[in-house]
Amino acid sequence: MSRPAIAHIRLDAFRHNYRVAKQCHGGKALAVIKANAYGHGAVHCAKSIEGEADGFAVACLEEALQLREAGISEPILLLEGFFEANELPDIDAIDCLIVVHAKWQLEILLSAKLAQPLQVWLKMDSGMHRVGLSPSEYVQAFKRLNGHKNVAKLVLMSHFANADNLSSDHTLQQIEVFQNTIHELKQAINVETSLANSAAILGWQQAMRLSDTKTRWSRPGIMLYGANPIVQSSQVHVLKPVMQLTSKIISIRNIKKGDSIGYGSIFTAERDTTVGVVACGYADGYPRSAITGTPMAVDGKMTRLIGCVSMDMLFVDLTDIPAASIGSQVELWGNQVAANDVAKAAGTIAYELFCNVKRVHFQYFDASNI
Ligand SMILES: *Cc1c(COP(=O)(O)O)cnc(C)c1O
């Protein structure tokens, strides 16, 4: 038998979540599968909605090439566009859409010699202040790109900084900046727009009302993997977890009240304790920062992490699960244990947990009639 750490990936859940995203938003949806589909496997995820997805979004040309090589023919948007001018021939050859988020990209694109014009998603900095053109630069850039021989079509986009925070008015301010700026572009009234990430789809109907369903695009990412980025949200139940990370108990010992376990002896038993050792550690992507008390399930029963997570192993409290034995299944996150809850206990977000999963065996399931 091999090491029992497994990431079970439910592609039917991924497909379900894509449909939820489209339905909530009402327009077209680019499935964001950058970073190997947030650690889930980009080709598998893309294939599971092939023929149904309106398109995909990835971070860079290399990620797009992988999808094209696997036969994916839907539109693919490069969320950061190109990093160097010499990528343009390949981008053109595999027919990707590009984000233009900076003036240097604009200049390179306008002076490039392309085999065919590219579809450009022009990114505005409406308040996140990461990438994107400022509103005044944006209007200028739009005018230069619109009708240019290298530009097949223009889509107007921006990205939210705080859409996961329902009590912040920053998202409404960003919507207003975006709306006011594109209103200046008279020709742009019927131009396609793209604002909403997962948090906006789930929490900010205002982001959707800007344009009608035919011309608006969403860019759902994390919700496709079943994690709701809005912690206070009531809609969490409509999403299905895609990844279930499991392993097994490989050792059990009983320690006395006052005994400590593991590196740094950071956990000291407050009562006589049955300790299970699980074959999963931070080298598999389980966060080392997870604290004692982080939820975990053993043979379907909820319990907690104890002590310090090591590279290949971690400890689980089995005191109240007397039936647990060597080989008992442990869910680190997935169906019973919400990735969001583990992330919270580790001081991070589900995005990072998913992206970090490695070394474990990946097993794909698809109830394809769903
Ligand atoms: C990653 C990314 C998304 C997806 O965001 P989620 O929060 O995962 O939904 C959307 N748009 C852009 C520009 C991104 O970089």
Domains identified in the chain and CATH numbers = 11-228 (3.20.20.10), 243-369 (2.40.37.10)
Q: Does the pTM of the predicted model rise above 0.85?
A: yes
Q: Place 213 in a pLDDT band, splitting at 50, 70 and 90.
A: confident
* Ligand 1 centroid to residue 158 C-alpha, Å: 11
Q: Which of 159, 195, 218, 230 to mutate to test the pocket of ligand 1 (most atoms within 8 A of CB)?
A: 159
Bridge partners (DSSP) of residue 56 are: 31, 76
Q: Is 67 helix (H, G, I), strand (E, B) or coil?
A: helix
- Separation CA 109–CA 212 (nearest Å): 29
Amino acid at 342: V
CA distances from 97 to 66, 89, 144 (A): 15, 13, 18
Residue 225 among the catalytic residues: no
Residue-wise burial string across 54-87, b where 16 or more C-beta atoms lie within 10 A, e elsewhere: bbbbbebbebbbebeeeebebbbbbbbbbeeeeb
Q: Which residues line ligand 1 (CB under 6 A)?
A: 32, 34, 79, 159, 197-199, 219-222, 229
**Which residue in 28, 34, 123, 248 is the catalytic one?**
34
Compute CA 212 distance to the chain's CA centroid, rounded to the nearest angstrom: 26
CA-nearest residue, atom 15 of ligand 1: 79
Residue 34 among the catalytic residues: yes
Answer whether residue 19 shows pLDDT above 80. Answer: yes
pLDDT score at 209: 73
Whether residue 31 contacts residue 20, with contact meaning beta carbons closer than 8 Å, is answered with no
pLDDT score at 189: 65
Q: What is the pLDDT of residues 230-248, one digit of tens each?
A: 976 655 569 999 999 999 9
Mean pLDDT value of segment 329-358: 98
